[in-house]
Structure 1
Amino acid sequence: MRPFHRLRPARASLRWKIAALAAATACLVAIAVGVLVHLWTAQDIRDRAEQQAFNSVYSAMDVYRRTGTLTDGAELDPAELPAALRHPADGDRHTAYDGRVEGNLGPSVWAAQRTGGPDSRVLAVRVNMSPELYGLRRLDGSMVVASLVALAAAVPLAAYGAGLLARRLRRVSETAGRISAGDLDARTGPTKGHDEVADIAATVDLMADSLGRRLRTERQFTADVAHELRTPVGGLLAAADLLPPGETEDLLRARVRDLRGLVEDLLEISRLDAGAEQPVRARVPLGAVVSEAVARTGYDAEVTVADDDTTVETDPRRLERIVGNLVVNAHRHGDTPVQVTVEGRTVVVRDHGPGFPPDLLLHGPRRFHTGAAERGSGHGLGLTIALGQARLLGAELRLDNAPDGGAVATLRLPA
């Protein structure tokens, strides 16, 4: 079976996505605030300049009418006066914006009023806004610098906060991965905070508790059924021995033997599921153990041992059980020739049949499920037992299909 690969969350992706979102939000806020402050300040400068020009032309007109002289900044019919102010109505004061810039002069706001009388000239006052606008540019620069500083502080803080979130999500993901791999005792445990991540962690733990209870109930039921069937099956086998020889006796004896084998397989699976089995290790020659296991099956198989001197420390009885089940499975559900190759610590069993069905390769062997009709009939327990015994030995059992057809089972024993 393919080894389980733990799902790895996209830690850097999540962290930097959140950091990028925080940076984008900070940029939008800074831009919005900067634009609003700039527009408000620019309008305030213009409003104050208009008010100043309006008041100045009022004062200048009062002095001109009383003394006939012009105050500082007041002019009569200036050449730079905007066209909109060259013909104001008598007695009315008007203002206009002049966007021209000449050196340090401009933009400006003009205010104008007719003097009245026979000459009817236009008295105008010009208020230069360049100092205030220079201050506005400095304010814009300061806001840009402040925004960059805030952005430089926000991104690391957002990345740090995202890292904390990613670590909590990683714990939940690792727990779910361990549960998916078969570790029903895996739990996330208490997590910091009272947010959605804590809810997810608690839900995963509750799911694991419920799943563990159901599987334990199922395993106990299987063990109880197998144990209860063992005695009557033994009685059936003894009774079959009392029948007179003949076709009926042979048929009944064969069926009883099949039933006893099924009961023994169920008991073995229940013990493996319950963790009641412990390997008895010994240093043995791998090639000899594999050859003996193949011979005990009673099926023909081509055994090739690359190195007769290879020895392994393992439980030889369980190793024979694994190899025997793989060879029997290859004959029952595959096609000849069946080849067994021993190289180093690796044992490969290959047949030339239709191969393993995709469902078995995807989900692994399941009890009472043979996968595909073309692979023959059976209880679907042989590969399940082989996988359980391999796990008990700390070995890896991988199931694949050969490129040119046929099922390939690869057993790698630990060093």
Structure 2
Amino acid sequence: MRGILGRLVPDDAAIRTGLRWKLSAAIALVGALVAIALSLVVHNAARVSMLDNSRDLADERIRVAQRMYEAGRTQAFGVKVDDPDIPGDLMEKVAEGRRATYVSEGAHGVPDIWAAVPLKDGRVLSLHTRFTDRGADVMKDLDQALIIGSIAVVLGGSALGVLIGGQLSGRLRKAAAAANRVAKGETDVRVRDAIGGVVRDETDDLARAVDAMADALQQRLEAERRVTADIAHELRTPVTGLLTAAELLPPGRPTELVLDRAKAMRTLVEDVLEVARLDGASERAELQDIMLGEFVARRVAAKDAGIAVRVIHESEVTTDPRRLERVLFNLLANAARHGKPPIEVSVEGRVIRVRDHGPGFPEELLAEGPSRFRTGRSDRSGVGHGLGLTIAAGQARVLGARLTFRNVRPAGAPEHVPAEGAVAVLWLPEHAPTNTGSFPMMPLSSG
């Protein structure tokens, strides 16, 4: 179901709202509903109470008027005898011989209060009054007070929602930022410490779960790294012996095949060991000042004189020449193995670009970066062990550099159009890391 919804509504097109505004809207909506319900209840209760008081007053007056009428006075309280305007429902009750009151809707929505009583001579004595102006004013003032109170409740609920939601969303944002740092390889980051706070809630449970997951994953990766390093280390001696023994075989095609496979195995073992060392984050750069364009031109010429090097802008950099050479040679080897000639190398300031004219990098590599032992037909020609670019990326991290990959397509061409080549770009930092892995502090200028 998640996949279906993800396809129907892309993440980029989804409406993104903050948690604080969702909470604020929810609290404001609930507050509005409660305020409206209470206002209606209070309004109706007050109206019914005031009408009941008016009916009681009319009933008391009609009783007094009845006694006065029987005593010979008929003008008390404006009562009438056999009033033709008496409502029919009230007349039905009076016909049963009962004294009764009745409320009808008058002009302009003001209730009319009726009271009637049967007389001994068979006639009907009735009293007709309207809802007092004072009562109407009281109801109007009450309605205004209820409206103002409802608005205050909604605004207060919104402010409370923003406050509570802001605190919660702030903690979640801190947790997300810390989790992203953990995902990028910062093993010393603790999500629980990042969110802070004194009050414990579900966010702390989530943070502790993420920390536990990160610790378990780190332990597992470290165990795998140690196992890989141990296996590769143990293989070095027999592989070296195998290569030495192969060199003692008599010349011929079988000997060449054995030597070729033995050398390939030795290279694989050395690469696995290098990857294990890079994963251990214990490698440190040995820095020197070099002219980058001159260095790249010399190294590429020694590797393959047929590769053209173009120095657009020369720059002096502080870096580890051995590791830089390793990155450069791995990029050239990858271009030669998976791409097509011509292979072009350019140097512009602190940026080195290696381009070939092959089918381009696979989408998995562009999306996720290099991954060891991930090869296949989608990975260019599908040969190799997937360690060359992994080592290049690891050595770039030791140098404090950034290694990016992209495919070259015609201008304005859609994604399904085949690439016209692949470009690997090494961005050397302005300030190289020290031998402790940190970056030097820039001295403040005096004066």
What are structure 1's unaligned runs of at least 5 residues? 1-9
Aligned length: 402
Residue 261 of structure 1 aligns with an amino acid whose one-letter code is T
Residue 211 of structure 1 aligns with an amino acid whose one-letter code is L
Task: Kindly report the root-mean-square deviation, in angstroms, between the aligned alpha carbons of the 2 structures.
Answer: 2.4
Match of 1:176 among 160, 176, 179: 179
Q: What is the distance in 2 between the residues matched to 1:301 and 1:71?
A: 123
- 1:203 counterpart residue number: 209
Match of 1:157 among 139, 157, 160: 160
Residue 203 (structure 1) shift: 1.0
What are structure 2's unaligned runs of at least 5 residues? 1-14, 411-418, 431-447
Q: What is the distance in 1 between the residues matched to 2:388 and 2:301?
A: 17
Structure 1 residue ranges (4+ consecutive) displaced by more than 6 angstroms after TM superposition? none
Q: TM-score, normalised by structure 2?
A: 0.83
Match of 1:331 among 336, 342, 345: 336
- 2:407 counterpart residue number: 401
Q: What is the distance in 2 between the residues matched to 1:167 and 1:90?
A: 73
Kindly indicate whether residue 82 of structure 2 is the aligned counterpart of residue 55 of structure 1: no
Residue 283 (structure 1) shift: 1.4
Match of 1:391 among 388, 397, 403: 397
CA deviation string 1:179-238 (max 9, x = no partner): 222223322125544432222111111110110010000111111111111222222222
Kindly indicate whether residue 288 of structure 2 is the aligned counterpart of residue 285 of structure 1: no
Secondary structure at the counterpart of residue 372 of structure 2: coil
Q: TM-score, normalised by structure 1?
A: 0.89
Secondary structure at the counterpart of residue 123 of structure 1: strand
Q: What is the distance in 1 between the residues matched to 2:372 and 2:110?
A: 90
Residue 286 of structure 1 aligns with an amino acid whose one-letter code is L
1:231-270 to structure 2, matched below 5 A, reads 231-270=237-276
Q: Does the 8 A contact of 1:187 with 1:208 survive in 2?
A: no
1:353-364 to structure 2, matched below 5 A, reads 353-364=358-369
Residue 229 of structure 1 aligns with an amino acid whose one-letter code is L
Match of 1:17 among 19, 22, 27: 22
Q: What is the distance in 2 between the residues matched to 1:221 and 1:345?
A: 37
Residue 302 (structure 1) shift: 2.3
Kindly indicate whether residue 135 of structure 2 is the aligned counterpart of residue 132 of structure 1: yes
Residue 163 (structure 1) shift: 1.0
Secondary structure at the counterpart of residue 375 of structure 1: coil
Kindly indicate whether residue 424 of structure 2 is the aligned counterpart of residue 413 of structure 1: no
Q: Does the 8 A contact of 2:65 with 2:76 survive in 1?
A: yes
Kindly indicate whether residue 187 of structure 2 is the aligned counterpart of residue 213 of structure 1: no
CA deviation string 1:230-288 (max 9, x = no partner): 22222222223322333233222222221111111111111111112100111111112
Q: Which structure is higher in RCO with an 8 Å CA cutoff and minimum separation 6? A: 1
Q: Does the 8 A contact of 1:299 with 1:328 survive in 2?
A: no
Residue 89 (structure 1) shift: 1.5
Q: Does the 8 A contact of 2:361 with 2:379 survive in 1?
A: no
Q: Structure 1's 50 and 108: CA in aligned 2 closer, same or farther, altered over 3 A?
A: same
- 2:307 counterpart residue number: 301
Q: What is the distance in 2 between the residues matched to 1:326 and 1:358?
A: 18
Residue 124 (structure 1) shift: 2.1
Residue 369 (structure 1) shift: 1.0
- 2:115 counterpart residue number: 111
- 2:10 counterpart residue number: none
Q: Does the 8 A contact of 2:32 with 2:153 survive in 1?
A: no
Q: What is the distance in 1 between the residues matched to 2:22 and 2:150?
A: 20
Residue 355 of structure 2 aligns with an amino acid whose one-letter code is R
Residue 344 (structure 1) shift: 1.6
Secondary structure at the counterpart of residue 278 of structure 1: coil
Residue 142 (structure 1) shift: 0.8
Secondary structure at the counterpart of residue 97 of structure 2: coil
Q: What is the distance in 1 between the residues matched to 2:42 and 2:22?
A: 30
Q: Report % sequence identity.
A: 41
- 2:354 counterpart residue number: 349
Q: What is the distance in 1 between the residues matched to 2:132 and 2:48?
A: 12
Match of 1:74 among 62, 70, 79: 79
- 1:7 counterpart residue number: none
- 1:4 counterpart residue number: none
Q: Structure 1's 252 and 85: CA in aligned 2 closer, same or farther, altered over 3 A?
A: closer
- 1:187 counterpart residue number: 190
Q: What is the distance in 2 between the residues matched to 1:237 and 1:304?
A: 39
Q: Does the 8 A contact of 2:18 with 2:169 survive in 1?
A: no
Q: Does the 8 A contact of 1:355 with 1:407 survive in 2?
A: yes
Secondary structure at the counterpart of residue 77 of structure 2: coil
CA deviation string 1:377-401 (max 9, x = no partner): 0010000001111111111111111
- 1:5 counterpart residue number: none
Higher mean alpha-carbon deviation, 323-332 vs 368-377, is at: 368-377
Residue 12 (structure 1) shift: 6.4
Q: Does the 8 A contact of 2:344 with 2:355 survive in 1?
A: yes
Higher mean alpha-carbon deviation, 124-133 vs 318-327, is at: 124-133
Q: Does the 8 A contact of 1:86 with 1:122 survive in 2?
A: no
Q: What is the distance in 1 between the residues matched to 2:165 and 2:302?
A: 59
Q: What is the distance in 2 between the residues matched to 1:329 and 1:296?
A: 17
Residue 373 (structure 1) shift: 5.7
Residue 126 (structure 1) shift: 2.4
Secondary structure at the counterpart of residue 275 of structure 1: coil
